């Protein structure tokens, strides 16, 4: 009888640990007068002491872009995934100046005031450059840095060329001719993927993009502060893992090679058979590299 009681208790403990690591806790962080939407995926009880991992999406993306990767990582690491200001379900204020440095500042506030401890930080595409800005300005907030097909070096390579052509265009024109489902599907398949994608996931990316506003797109297209410079990157001593899709046309692997040369403590992993979204096309490979690096 006692053995059955112990076995039942053990099963209950395992089930509680599983459910704890399966369901996300969604919330909003107050940054100035704005709200940043985030989700928290707690680790299993035996992994709760692990450093939290924060996931930062790219241009016209959202926290949902990382769901395939989270599926592979959840339970093993406490995970936060968020929508940057101007994207997803976060506030899209009209009075905010959308630049990479300002978005990095809001991200720093989220880590300092919501997570309350240093984190491991993963940034994809434009989110990678925002993460580099954060590593330069607030190195005490980051234990380890992961860059996935990250933008860097110039004021333009964090967004596709077709967006830069919109600089002289007005917001209503973008709303009509760009922010629609057929156009988003077309651009997503150009250089962002090397193969097929499940329809539900394709729609998820399109849905994320359609939550963007024309003013946000134009602000970032016109952002002339310049990307993070080579000499600034060379001063970032945070241990860094660089992951790149071999077939990425949006931000080519040459950028990853440059980052690996300039960052003092880095390792580059190129994933064959993937493009700009390696965590979407091969989440098991990417998650394995991440866990190896973080452990």
Catalytic annotation, residues: 125, 276
Between the CA of residue 207 and those of 192, 193, 235, what are the distances in Å?
16, 17, 38
Q: Tokens in use for 81?
A: 């995934």
- Residues 247 and 274: beta-carbon distance below 8 Å: yes
- Residues 193 and 281: beta-carbon distance below 8 Å: yes
Strand ordering across the sheet containing 240-245: 25-31, 34-41, 79-82, 53-56, 119-124, 142-148, 240-245, 266-271
Q: How far apart are CA 280 and CA 77, in angstroms?
A: 19
Q: How far apart are CA 189 and CA 202, in angstroms?
A: 9
Q: Tokens in use for 73?
A: 């990582």
Q: How far apart are CA 32 and CA 97, in angstroms?
A: 13
| Beta carbons within 8 Å of 194's beta carbon, 6+ residues apart | 245, 246, 247, 273, 274, 275, 281
Q: How far apart are CA 42 and CA 45, in angstroms?
A: 9
| Beta carbons within 8 Å of 262's beta carbon, 6+ residues apart | 230, 233, 234
- Cα atoms in the Cβ-side hemisphere of radius 13 Å centred on 142: 27
Q: How far apart are CA 212 and CA 59, in angstroms?
A: 9
């Amino acid at each position: 009888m006692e053995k059955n009681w112990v076995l039942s208790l053990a099963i209950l403990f395992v089930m509680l640990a599983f459910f704890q690591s399966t369901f996300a806790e969604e919330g909003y962080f107050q940054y100035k007068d704005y709200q940043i939407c985030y989700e928290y995926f707690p680790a299993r009880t035996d992994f709760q002491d692990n450093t939290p991992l924060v996931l930062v999406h790219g241009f016209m993306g959202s926290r949902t872009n990382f769901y395939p990767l989270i599926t592979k990582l959840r339970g093993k690491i406490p995970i936060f995934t968020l929508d940057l200001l101007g994207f997803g379900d976060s506030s899209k204020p009209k009075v905010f100046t959308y630049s990479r440095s300002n978005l990095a500042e809001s991200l720093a506030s989220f880590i300092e005031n919501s997570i309350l401890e240093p984190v491991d930080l993963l940034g994809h595409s434009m989110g990678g450059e925002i993460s580099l800005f954060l590593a330069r300005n607030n190195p005490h907030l980051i234990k380890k840095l992961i860059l996935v097909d990250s933008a860097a070096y110039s004021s333009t390579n964090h967004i596709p060329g077709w967006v830069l052509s919109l600089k002289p265009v007005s917001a209503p024109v973008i709303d009509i001719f760009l922010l629609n489902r057929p156009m988003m599907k077309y651009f997503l398949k150009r250089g962002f993927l090397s193969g097929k994608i499940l329809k539900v996931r394709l729609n998820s990316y399109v849905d994320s993009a359609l939550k963007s506003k024309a003013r946000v797109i134009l602000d970032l297209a016109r952002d002339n502060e310049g990307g993070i410079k080579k000499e600034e990157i060379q001063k970032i001593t945070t241990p860094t893992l660089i992951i790149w899709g071999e077939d990425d046309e949006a931000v080519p692997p040459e950028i990853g090679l440059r980052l690996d040369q300039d960052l003092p403590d880095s390792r580059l992993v190129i994933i064959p058979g993937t493009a700009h979204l390696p965590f979407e096309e091969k989440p098991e490979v990417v998650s394995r590299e991440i866990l190896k690096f973080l452990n």
